[in-house]
Structure 1
């Protein structure tokens, strides 16, 4: 007789905004017990979700993508899971790769020039291959694991694309597939908005959880030092807010902060 595995009993971790800081990412996973000295998966049946922004700003965004793709296979073989979301910097990189310097109304150098101004690293785009592109296109815009709604950005703008996780993911991918350069830029701006949950913790959090499900939200995108008043030298872990219904996990690695891993399973068991 087969019994259904209770996934809620399995550890759940999130990490976000690695931004090419490959060494810092490896250190964070080792400290969380999810990888060994060689970077291989040691998390057994744990779930790790990475909330986007693998590339840009830092030294080796493509190396981070390669590490995550390998880790996904290793975790699956061990009974665990590594899931990855689409971040706005992936959208920016993909737009630069797809449309190049095709002029925009307000930018003669097109999405490529805009991507560079947003922190694009030309070494990353030169190393993109067909497998990287396919992986990037496969990334969902949002996910829900157990009772946690996983997003890259702290914005209610996801609801412009649907009122369920499936609709949001399908419509974002459709918008990407059908967009011209101007439409791609509009998509980027929509999904790069921030601070909905900080500035309207009652209305925005309730809207998102009612529409997309879950009891809590985990997001990256907005560095703790810039948007939540945590000094860079005081960042020790993720920031819980909105009555502990939302956790922000962007430790601002590219600003001199940290790549953070949040143990959500432990928080669910001990909310203090």
Structure 2
């Protein structure tokens, strides 16, 4: 292989990142560094030339207009309107969508908010891959807003502080590529010799608008016992903490408190439904001379007012890149600003918000749930379905955790009898749900492996992939997502395993707008025929006979919105042959010896229905095989076994005579 070929291969493999510009400047010149299409660039230009940095895929920067005025702490009064947002975390595209939706910027990303104020309540840095884009956008908007009587407040969050002090644990891989390309440490790109580094160090940690305070984390009572002046706290942080290189060794109590967990950038107390209450909120607001306080830092499903609206939590999980909200103030009222530009009352609870939906919608992010409870008691009482106390700790993306006191109990008709570890139901206290905006949803259903060990874990994974397969044929299938679980207790018993959460009836009904039929007996002739046949085809494909129409066993009977006939939606697939759990046995009423024997249970199917439904499934053959092949949680052997069963099913469908023989039963005379 020639050197030229090696160079070409290396170029093809190199990520096509765009990043920058990173600008260092003095009175006469500016050094500009950037990455374009994976290639590094480094040049020096004269500031006198009024050079405009303009490269495809990168922020446009006027090199002749890099000056700025440091922010000074003040209390702003008589502001007619403002918008606040927090924890953007590199999700620049979503930030732009929200800004355009609420008329802060136009399509060219220029300021159109007049004399309004835009407050960024910390944490532009880390996680996402468009941090630089947001910073330069704010740099430009700050100048444009000032020119027309408006104001941009970029408040520092803990992630800004971390970057400026060398903690790069959460930077996106794109920025590791940048630093590797230039042979420079990431914090050096924001040191005091750079435009952006100086600009960031000139920013406040708090501001006050119309009596409403803004700070990334919050002010703890412990901190305010040391110093209660917002101006002093802000200026001390700017002048001493932000520039200090040895805070861990500081003997100054105030500096230490500003820096550590009870400091204004790290404090999470306001989002603790147990450890913080209305009276504490009143005391803190009185000390600070505020009507309300707005904070980010702790991810919520939406903007949530707590303590009778005295504290507003505005980190609406923008960091996940899916959706988000802004806090809107206009006409002396506060609103939640939605991603589509609509506004809703601050205290409105969305009827479709739930713990399940929140976790499910961010399924590409790793989640660990620790249940600290009496495991022996849980197992002993599993058949009684008796609630017991538990501490639930949720850990997102291996970073911060949040804990609540909950109740848990066993559930599941058969599994609680045959499994050492039963499926669980979590019951959240109403107070906790009110904090999260989940007023009408207090339950979370969990499916766990039957026991610890790889065999049981793979058994759960096989059932989980069946849920994904069903979603490929029917959008009315149940939503699920994998979650890491740790069961632990004081006796040092510990189970580390992966389970999945599944929609409960309320979540399912709200998502699908379907009516769930719980009472009465149904028969095969009552169902919408097309979905009825598809459901039976699917059950045959996964070799499952553990369901029954007449008593709704492992079937949810639903009336979709506007439908005249019901549909049957399957769930609980642990007895399916494709899952092949060691405890699974076939129904005694069927002429089969084990759960690996397929048996078609649809009634009165016609040749035309077989042809039509076979074509429907065959069109999805590759999609279903891909679902299995892309299921990284399955081991190689189980992928092979499940794929073999699916291929056997699809092979059958390609032979009409064999399919008719398997599906059409001769009626008894």
Does the aligned pair in 1 maintain the 2:123–2:157 contact within 8 Å? yes
**CA–CA distance in structure 1, aligned partners of residues 249 and 140 of structure 2:** 33
Tell me which residue corresponds to 1:194. Answer: 268
Question: 1:57 offset after TM fit, Å?
Answer: 0.5
Question: 1:13 offset after TM fit, Å?
Answer: 1.4
Does the aligned pair in 1 maintain the 2:77–2:211 contact within 8 Å? no
Does the aligned pair in 1 maintain the 2:206–2:214 contact within 8 Å? yes
Instruction: Name the one with the larger helix percent.
Output: 1
**CA–CA distance in structure 2, aligned partners of residues 158 and 131 of structure 1:** 32
**CA–CA distance in structure 2, aligned partners of residues 223 and 61 of structure 1:** 18
Question: 1:33 offset after TM fit, Å?
Answer: 0.8
1:72 aligns with 2:136: no
**CA–CA distance in structure 2, aligned partners of residues 161 and 172 of structure 1:** 14
1:17 aligns with 2:87: yes
Residues 1:39 and 1:158: Cα distance change in structure 2 (over 3 Å): farther
Does the aligned pair in 2 maintain the 1:18–1:259 contact within 8 Å? no
- The answer to which of 207-216 and 35-44 deviates more is 207-216
1:261 aligns with 2:261: no
1:148 aligns with 2:215: no
**CA–CA distance in structure 1, aligned partners of residues 190 and 79 of structure 2:** 38
**CA–CA distance in structure 2, aligned partners of residues 162 and 181 of structure 1:** 18
Residues 1:63 and 1:36: Cα distance change in structure 2 (over 3 Å): same
TM-score by length of 2: 0.33
Higher relative contact order (CA 8 A, sep 6+): 1
1:136-190: CA deviation from partner (whole Å, max 9, x where unpaired): 1111111111110111114516536621111111222212333416359961544
Tell me which residue corresponds to 1:239. Answer: 304
Tell me which residue corresponds to 2:152. Answer: 82
1:187-241: CA deviation from partner (whole Å, max 9, x where unpaired): 15443131335431324322331222210111111110xxxxx3xxxx4xx2112
Residues 1:65 and 1:256: Cα distance change in structure 2 (over 3 Å): closer
Question: 1:89 offset after TM fit, Å?
Answer: 0.3
Does the aligned pair in 1 maintain the 2:79–2:210 contact within 8 Å? no
44, 58, 64: which one aligns with 2:114? 44
51, 57, 63: which one aligns with 2:133? 63
**CA–CA distance in structure 2, aligned partners of residues 165 and 136 of structure 1:** 19
Tell me which residue corresponds to 2:358. Answer: none
**CA–CA distance in structure 2, aligned partners of residues 261 and 81 of structure 1:** 16
Question: 1:257 offset after TM fit, Å?
Answer: 4.1
1:159 is paired with a residue whose SS is: helix
**CA–CA distance in structure 2, aligned partners of residues 192 and 35 of structure 1:** 30
**CA–CA distance in structure 1, aligned partners of residues 247 and 267 of structure 2:** 19
2:152 is paired with a residue whose SS is: strand
- The answer to which of 56-65 and 128-137 deviates more is 128-137
Instruction: Name the one with the larger strand percent.
Output: 2
Instruction: Say what the alpha-carbon RMSD is for the aligned residues.
Output: 2.7
275, 294, 300: which one aligns with 1:218? 294
173, 192, 204: which one aligns with 2:280? 204
TM-score by length of 1: 0.77
- The answer to which of 260-269 and 212-221 deviates more is 260-269
Residues 1:67 and 1:256: Cα distance change in structure 2 (over 3 Å): closer
Tell me which residue corresponds to 1:180. Answer: 246
Residues 1:264 and 1:62: Cα distance change in structure 2 (over 3 Å): same
Question: Would you say how many aligned residue pairs link Structure 1 and Structure 2?
Answer: 238
Does the aligned pair in 2 maintain the 1:88–1:188 contact within 8 Å? no
**CA–CA distance in structure 1, aligned partners of residues 223 and 133 of structure 2:** 28
1:177 is paired with a residue whose SS is: coil
**CA–CA distance in structure 2, aligned partners of residues 69 and 161 of structure 1:** 34
**CA–CA distance in structure 1, aligned partners of residues 292 and 128 of structure 2:** 30
Residues 1:153 and 1:38: Cα distance change in structure 2 (over 3 Å): same
Residues 1:271 and 1:262: Cα distance change in structure 2 (over 3 Å): closer
1:20-35 aligned at under 5 Å gives the runs 20-35=90-105
1:29-57: CA deviation from partner (whole Å, max 9, x where unpaired): 11111100111101011111110101100
Tell me which residue corresponds to 1:128. Answer: 190
**CA–CA distance in structure 2, aligned partners of residues 158 and 137 of structure 1:** 22
**CA–CA distance in structure 2, aligned partners of residues 14 and 39 of structure 1:** 17
